[in-house]
Amino acid sequence: MAEENNVKDADELEKEHFVRIVNAFKYYRLYSLNRIRNTERYYDELPDHHRSIIPNFRDHLSKVRNCIETNFHLIKLIIQNTEHMFENKNHGPVENGAICMLQGEEGLRKHPPTSYDMDRVKTTLKQFVRDWSESGRNERASCYDPVIREIRRRFPPQMCDPSTVFVLVPGAGLGRLAYELAKLGYSCQGNEWSLFMLFASNFVLNKCREANAHKLYPWIHQWINNKTSSDQIEPISFPDVNPADLPANSNFSMAAGDFLEVYTEPNSWDCVATVFFIDTAHNIISYVETIWRILKPGGFWVNLGPLLYHFSDMPNESSIELSYDDVRQVILQYGFQFEKEETGVKTTYTQNPRSMLQYQYDSVFFVARKPA
Ligand SMILES: C[S@@+](CC[C@H](N)C(=O)[O-])C[C@H]1O[C@@H](n2cnc3c(N)ncnc32)[C@H](O)[C@@H]1O
């Protein structure tokens, strides 16, 4: 009986979490318009002679407002029918009386989502640039191409039946790397834990059936470091390719859930490909341990990314933040053999190419093998 109650609690918590994320997406428009309204109010308070020097400023704000409407239209498509998107779960309808119910505008105004959740919505929009737009091409070339190249080298699609090679991509984001591997014929599964990402990847992978069918303004929330006002309202089209364009009988799936909880079956994957993922761990050793366990003997772990430990400075969260040197010792201790290792690999992450601020990571790239 006690166990039954626990299960029910877990289900309720999951449902609340689901509703919280939908509410964050729904709040996007009000939240973003509010930001503009504040600027507009301040502009109105400027002395007349200052306002007259920048006569186009108000016009720019109204352009940003239109961009928000376009983004919100897309967001509504993203969250449409998400309650039915999981094969093993149905999250709707949410009953009245639930602690955290789906809110209308009025409710959202009274109980707004947290700024953390609203940041996640904005990050999710930028993720479309990285994974599914023409302007993300260079970023993908630096982050995904080396990984794809190493997998192809070890499992050449012309020399083996790639559908018998099982590749796992934990922390798959919007799924482009996993899609590219499936396109080469590998049996590929992406795994993702964040509902923000899962809603967006579900939209692009399962609902977009035509290249460049959608438009989005990913940079409108960047109010600083713009060289020209038009940079802020620069659109992208996506997806740059038709996501349905996969070989017949391809084996491609996305699995929702925490990597550490979903993947417990030993010796089941030929390759694990992690890109900008291993630093999402509370305890990075548990990631290494799980990858070691789930890889078949002779299997490969291909990794690329920095060590921007996600929980490092988060209130109420703990993590161990090992240096790369320590991480590689852990990897060796488990028995992996490094077949390739490079540091200082120049990479970016959802970087606005026009911004006056450019972040670049000196990422580490390695291929480690679990001996046969
Ligand atoms: C920095 S992003 C990288 C996404 C993608 N690999 C890319 O390169 O664009 C890290 C991703 O890992 C996901 N993630 C974090 N912890 C996870 C976990 N325990 N299990 C599965 N995914 C996780 C996050 O939600 C996020 O989408």
Which pLDDT tens digit goes with each residue over 142-154?
999 999 999 999 9
The pLDDT-based confidence of 99 (bands split at 50, 70, 90) is very low
Q: Is the dihedral of CA 223, 227, 232, 238 positive or negative?
A: negative
Same domain, 159 and 20: no
Phi-psi region of 137 (alpha: psi -120 to 50; beta: other; left: phi over 0): alpha
Q: Which atom of ligand 1 is nearest to the CA of 130?
A: 9
Res 71: pLDDT: 98
pLDDT in tens, 289-315: 999 999 999 999 999 999 999 999 998
Peptide bond into 315 cis (omega under 30): no
Boundary residue ending a domain (113, 139, 156): 113
DSSP class of residue 273 equals E
Res 85: pLDDT: 79
Same domain, 105 and 135: no
Same domain, 215 and 303: yes
Task: Say if residue 94's pLDDT is above 90.
Answer: no
Q: Domain span at residue 153? A: 129-372
Task: Say if residue 7's pLDDT is above 90.
Answer: no
Which residue's CA lies nearest to atom 16 of ligand 1? 280
197, two tokens: 């990402």
Residues of the chain with pLDDT > 70, as a percent, come to 94
174 and 202 Cβ atoms separated by less than 8 Å: no
Q: How far apart are CA 34 and CA 248, in angstroms?
A: 47
289, two tokens: 């341990």
What count of other Cβ atoms lies within 10 Å of the Cβ of residue 204? 21
Task: Say if residue 43's pLDDT is above 80.
Answer: yes
Q: Which helix (H) or strand (E) holds 297?
A: strand 295-305
Res 221: pLDDT: 98
> Comparing C-alpha atoms, which of 36, 34, 15 is closest to residue 223?
36
Task: Say if residue 95's pLDDT is above 80.
Answer: no
**Ligand 1 centre from 177 Cα, in Å?**
12
Res 82: pLDDT: 86
Question: What contacts 44, CB < 8 A, 6 or more positions away?
Answer: none
> Comparing C-alpha atoms, which of 322, 335, 341 is closest to residue 295?
335
List C-alpha distances in Å: 337 to 132, 138, 147, 265, 368.
Answer: 34, 30, 17, 22, 5
- Could you tell me which residue, 126 or 9, shows the higher pLDDT? 126
Same domain, 88 and 207: no
Same domain, 149 and 296: yes
Phi-psi region of 220 (alpha: psi -120 to 50; beta: other; left: phi over 0): alpha
CATH of the domain at 258: 3.40.50.150
179 and 198 Cβ atoms separated by less than 8 Å: no
The number of domains in the chain is 2
Boundary residue ending a domain (71, 88, 113): 113
Has residue 119 been placed in a domain?
A: no
Same domain, 73 and 201: no
Same domain, 99 and 181: no
pLDDT in tens, 313-367: 998 999 999 999 999 999 999 999 999 999 999 999 999 999 999 999 999 999 9
The pLDDT-based confidence of 109 (bands split at 50, 70, 90) is confident
What number is the average pLDDT over the span 255-275?
98
Q: How far apart are CA 331 and CA 328, in angstroms?
A: 5
What number is the average pLDDT over the span 116-137?
98
Strand partners, 367: 302, 340
What number is the average pLDDT over the span 116-143?
98
Task: Say if residue 87's pLDDT is above 70.
Answer: no
* Ligand 1 site, residue 309, Cβ cutoff 6 A: no
Q: How far apart are CA 332 and CA 75, in angstroms?
A: 44
Which residue's CA lies nearest to atom 14 of ligand 1? 171
Same domain, 170 and 224: yes
* C-alpha triplet 334, 337, 341: angle, nearest 5°: 115
Which residue's CA lies nearest to atom 11 of ligand 1? 171
**Residue 367: Cβ-neighbour burial (10 angstroms; 0-12, 13-18, 19+):** buried
Question: What contacts 90, CB < 8 A, 6 or more positions away?
Answer: 83, 84
Which residue's CA lies nearest to atom 3 of ligand 1? 276
Task: Say if residue 5's pLDDT is above 70.
Answer: no
Boundary residue ending a domain (113, 138, 170): 113
Question: What pTM value is reported for the model?
Answer: 0.94
Res 98: pLDDT: 41
First CA to last CA distance, the chain: 46
What number is the average pLDDT over the span 190-211?
97
Res 81: pLDDT: 84
If you average pLDDT over every residue of the chain, what do you get? 94
* Ligand 1 site, residue 175, Cβ cutoff 6 A: no
* Ligand 1 site, residue 203, Cβ cutoff 6 A: no
Task: Say if residue 183's pLDDT is above 60.
Answer: yes
95 and 19 Cβ atoms separated by less than 8 Å: no
* Ligand 1 site, residue 283, Cβ cutoff 6 A: no
Q: What is the dihedral of CA 13, 17, 23, 24, to 10 degrees?
A: 150
194 and 184 Cβ atoms separated by less than 8 Å: no
